[in-house]
Structure 1
Amino acid sequence: MSRTVITTSNAPALQAPLSQGVRKGPVLGVSGQLPLDPGTGAVVGTTVAEQTAQALRNVTAVLKAAGASMEDVIVLRVYLTDPADLAAMNEAYAEAVGEPFPARTTVYMRLPAGVLVEIDALAVVAG
């Protein structure tokens, strides 16, 4: 079974050795999405809520390019720079993702300057 690279202009293309998404059989991995505007590459928003919403829009764009949606996601991983942002991220996340929520892991790490959050996904896609 071969891997299929997923690419879309509706999510940012990074200058890094990675694919926006990769599908093998029914399994789809979406690379970590930063809160970047796909057209300009600029960081969208200054708050974790704004950046969470943009990162999830980018995740959703890659899912859509692979013929999937947030309903196919079984786990999201959220990377935050500051534990104090957890409550605000949770609020924006809940609004954008909706119930039933996929499984989730949240970790804290250093991200590029001005970036407060990064989100990746693992989905199982029918067909």
Structure 2
Amino acid sequence: MSKQIIHTERAPSAVGPYSQAVGAPQGKTFYLSGQIGLEPQTGSLIEGSFQDQVRQAFDNMQAVIEACGGDLSHVVKLTLFLTDLSRFGEVNSIMAEVFSEPYPARSTVGVSSLPKGAEFEVEAIVVV
């Protein structure tokens, strides 16, 4: 799948590992439900740090993408949900490890709570 990365100087540049917009001219579109840092074997929130939750949520998302027949390069849009927006930089660092350029488009939303006491959730739109 070829993605068209959109960038204009008439809008602010990305402040992290994401693109202003991404076009996906062809393919089958999948709208993934949000993933939190649950361990697939137990259904329990992973024990450990905030970073462990973020990595597990991205791993869970990647497993769903692979079940759709794709990989991380097929992600065109992410929405991140954080219970503490001061941890935005930590998520950016992990996302830069998980994804390579060209980055998907992304929104980040601060929320008061997430299921099972999670501190991070990610949802995606994927075109395969």
Task: Give the TM-score normalised by structure 2.
Answer: 0.73
Aligned-pair identity (%): 38
Instruction: Give the SS at the match of 2:69.
Output: coil
**Contact 1:33–1:58 (Cα < 8 Å) also in 2:** yes
Partner of 1:5: none
Instruction: Give the SS at the match of 1:75.
Output: strand
Partner of 1:75: 77
CA deviations on 1:81-120 (whole Å, 9 max, x unpaired) are: 0011111111111111222210000001121353110000
Instruction: Give the SS at the match of 2:102.
Output: coil
Q: 1:112 aligns with which of 95, 110, 115?
A: 115
**Contact 2:39–2:45 (Cα < 8 Å) also in 1:** yes
1:40 to partner: Cα distance: 0.5
Which of 62-71 and 113-122 deviates more? 113-122
Pair member with larger Rg: 2
Q: For the aligned residues, what is the CA RMSD?
A: 1.4
Higher relative contact order at CA 8 Å, sep ≥6: structure 1 or structure 2? 2
Partner of 1:15: none
Kindly report which structure 2 residues correspond to 1:10-29, keeping only aligned pairs within 5 A, or say none.
26-29=28-31
CA deviations on 1:60-101 (whole Å, 9 max, x unpaired) are: 000101101111110011000001111111111111122221
The whole-number CA distance in structure 2 between the counterparts of 1:46 and 1:99 is 29
Gaps of 5+ in 1: 1-24
Gaps of 5+ in 2: 1-26
**Contact 2:45–2:116 (Cα < 8 Å) also in 1:** no
Instruction: Give the SS at the match of 2:115.
Output: coil
Query: What is the aligned length?
Result: 101
